[in-house]
Amino acid sequence: MKAILCTKYGPVEDLKIGDVPKPIPREHEVLIKVSFSAVNDYDWSMVRGKPGIYRLFLGFFKPKRPIPGMELSGIIEAIGENVTAFKLGEAVYGDISDHGFGTFAEYLCIHEKAIVKKPEYLSFEDAAALSHAANLAWQGLVDVGQIKKGMKVLINGAGGGVGTLGLYIAKTYDAEVTGVDTGDKLKTMAKIGYDHIIDYKETDFTSNNTKYDLVLDAKTNRPPKAYIRVLSPNGKYVSIGGKIKNLLQILFARKVRKKPVFMVGLKANKDLDQIHKLYEDGRLKPEVDGPYPLEKAPWAIQHFGEGKHTGKVIISMQD
């Protein structure tokens, strides 16, 4: 089978498309014929081996797992011993990061707990765009942020996967939502319904006088004190990830200084039932950048890493 192979850390140009043996499912595993996958921060970090601290789990000198990818949609083609949740031919999808990686391939074996059944009304393409980003947005806004009806919400990194899906979730609470991003993403943000749009290249929202009840940060490119300035008296700041030094400062501000700053500890696939309902009702729709063929995966990872994408960057794994 064909797969994207990362055998050493470096520029994305070093990635290769190689032929590797088709895997065979072990106990509790299913073999999935992958339809679509999506590019995430994990892939950008894995290819480059940066930040360096990530090599503690990626592999110090080279990746332990040479095939990137942590999201997929596809069809179950074989079942290992003692699998109880799925049958042959069922459509599935999910964020598999709790159980492994390797979705940038035509086939993948993974534990049955890593995936969920794909509803018939959800396309394979959209499914690949939802599992990771929609859960981050839901858990950031609802579980951690405890969003309430009519809140003033700001989303930093509003034109990416989490930001575009986060808008739809916030709007189910009739929130007034401000989005921060730049470039071509601003047009998409206006199209999907952001109430206010800030181009960070022109305006520093942390220096404005506007206060927000909830800030969801998909970038975390500033220290927490910058975000605390724009919070209302009972406001919350929630990070879904970003620069390591800023994340450490958030931990310190939360644990030691008791500031209202939080981080999402993602629970993969936990809230997909809620996402299914919004999708089926037409109240949520992922913005898809692509899909691009497997051969363009190196370019797509670079496209994502440079922040030039809008919504979720999707890779097609089949001809």
**Whole-angstrom distance, CA of residue 70 vs CA of residue 225:** 33
Overall pTM > 0.85: yes
What are the residue boundaries of the structural domains of the chain, listed by start?
Answer: 2-118+287-316, 134-263
Q: Residue 311 corresponds to which amino acid?
A: G
Domain covering 2-118+287-316 assigned CATH 1.10.10.2160 in the classification: no
Render pLDDT for 141-182 as a digit per residue (tens, 0 to 9).
Answer: 999 999 999 999 999 999 999 999 999 999 999 999 999 999
The structure tokens listed for 185 are 């993403």
* Higher per-residue pLDDT: 252 or 315: 315
User: b/e per residue, 65-101, with b = 16+ CB within 10 A?
Assistant: ebbbbbbbbbbbebbbeebeebeeebbbbbbbbebbb
**pLDDT above 90 (res 245):** no
Predicted pLDDT of residue 124: 98
Q: Which CATH number fits domain 134-263: 3.40.50.720, 1.50.10.20, 3.40.50.10680, 3.40.50.620?
A: 3.40.50.720
**Whole-angstrom distance, CA of residue 280 vs CA of residue 261:** 33
Residue 135: phi and psi, rounded to 5, are -65, -40
Share of the chain above pLDDT 90, in %: 87
**pLDDT above 90 (res 227):** yes
Render pLDDT for 68-99 as a digit per residue (tens, 0 to 9).
Answer: 999 999 999 999 999 999 999 999 999 999 99
Q: What is the mean pLDDT of residues 257-282?
A: 95
